[in-house]
Chains A and B, each alone.
Chain A
Amino acid sequence: EAEVAQSPRYKITEKSQAVAFWCDPISGHATLYWYRQILGQGPELLVQFQDESVVDDSQLPKDRFSAERLKGVDSTLKIQPAELGDSAMYLCASSLKGGSSYNEQFFGPGTRLTVL
């Protein structure tokens, strides 16, 4: 069964360092999502791509976070510099379509980030 792949699974870094996370969605899925989930809370959308275009990045802290999906397939989320408050689980998800197309989202295993 096809799955969303993410790496690394765990990342420990010191504040002010740069970190990057990678996501490979299910083949054929046009929509890709990056979420941040703090322990005890639900996933919060950071950025959503439709193919290679950003359709929603309203909650992305653009002074330190960046995301790209250059060829409309895999994606990278970067944080520079990392802050203590960035410690969280970063989840990637994909779906066939987005918006009002009633498509379920398939999530990857996530990257657990700890900032010291």
Chain B
Amino acid sequence: SQKIEQNSEALNIQEGKTATLTCNYTNYSPAYLQWYRQDPGRGPVFLLLIRENEKEKRKERLKVTFDTTLKQSLFHITASQPADSATYLCALNTGGFKTIFGAGTRLFVKA
């Protein structure tokens, strides 16, 4: 079955630096991959989607890359702010109906 691995350890960075989060997957390649933000006690919020034929996607301070050879996606937040502190979830869809979520990586941005 498809597995998604995200860094289980929290990522601590200083304000203004670039945060980079990793999402690795096994088995067959997803049709597309999504990144969500989740704050404590709340539902996830969609951030970005990247398709299997795309290498990179940008939205304001966010950037996602997708390497189907490495079976990996990287999620970058540039000029990070304390308000960016949250859990970031990677989710993939294999082209069928099902979306599979990773466990998420907790990001802490210190002022």
Using a CB–CB cutoff of 8 Å, the interface residues on chain A facing chain B are: 4, 33, 35, 40-45, 48, 50, 55-56, 91, 93, 98-100, 102, 104-110, 112
Contact = CB atoms under 8 A, between A and B. Distances in A.
A51 to B, nearest CB: 13
B44 A107 contact: yes
Contacts of B32: 102
Contacts, number: 58
Given A41-B103, A55-B97, A107 B45 contact: yes
Interface in B12-66: 31-32, 34, 41-46, 49, 51
A102 B91 CA distance: 12
20 contacts: A4-B43, A42-B4, A42-B91, A42-B102, A43-B89, A43-B101, A44-B101, A50-B97, A56-B97, A91-B44, A93-B43, A100-B95, A100-B96, A102-B32, A105-B46, A107-B44, A107-B45, A109-B43, A110-B41, A112-B41
A99 B97 contact: yes
A106 B34 CA distance: 12
Nearest to B4: A42
Nearest to A56: B97
Contacts of A35: 101
B99 interface: yes
B42 A43 contact: no
Contact of B51 (A41, A42, A102, A109): A102
Interface of B: 4, 31-32, 34, 41-46, 49, 51, 89, 91, 93, 95-104
Contacts of A104: 34, 46, 49
Contacts of A48: 97-98
Given A45-B100, A100-B95, 14 more contacts: A33-B99, A40-B103, A42-B89, A43-B44, A48-B97, A55-B97, A99-B93, A99-B96, A102-B32, A102-B51, A105-B44, A107-B44, A109-B42, A110-B41
